[in-house]
Amino acid sequence: MNSSFDLDNAARALRFPAHQVTRVMVLSADHARSALHAMDHALGGCAAEVCGLTLKPVGEIVEAILRLKGLDDTAAEAMAGRLAAATGVHSVRVEHQWGL
């Protein structure tokens, strides 16, 4: 992502250490199995701390919300790319929460 707004620098400016920034991956998939397989693949070899996982049906698809700590912007973008490339995944969104 080529953005003039760097979230890691913003977190430092707000005095939130990197370990206090939670990355939230929101993805939609065909079914729970696809979402879980995508997350298992994306987390392989990743040093991120999993803080939470929620799966819920939304019509005919499943929404998965994965909360992680210990990822910088680059690692979060790479993980979102791995999630998006997984079979059965329709969309991925990354959110950033400070101080939670």
Query: Is the pLDDT reported for residue 3 higher than 70?
Result: no
Query: Is the pLDDT reported for residue 17 higher than 60?
Result: no
Query: Is the pLDDT reported for residue 81 higher than 90?
Result: yes
Q: Give the pLDDT score at 6.
A: 59
User: pLDDT tens-digit profile of 43-56?
Assistant: 987 888 999 999 99
The confidence band for 15, taking pLDDT boundaries of 50, 70 and 90, is low
The confidence band for 1, taking pLDDT boundaries of 50, 70 and 90, is very low
Q: 74-80 long-range CB contacts below 8 Å, 24 or more apart?
A: 75/46, 75/48, 76/23, 76/25, 77/1, 79/23, 79/25, 79/42, 79/43, 79/46, 79/48, 80/25
Query: Is the pLDDT reported for residue 13 higher than 80?
Result: no
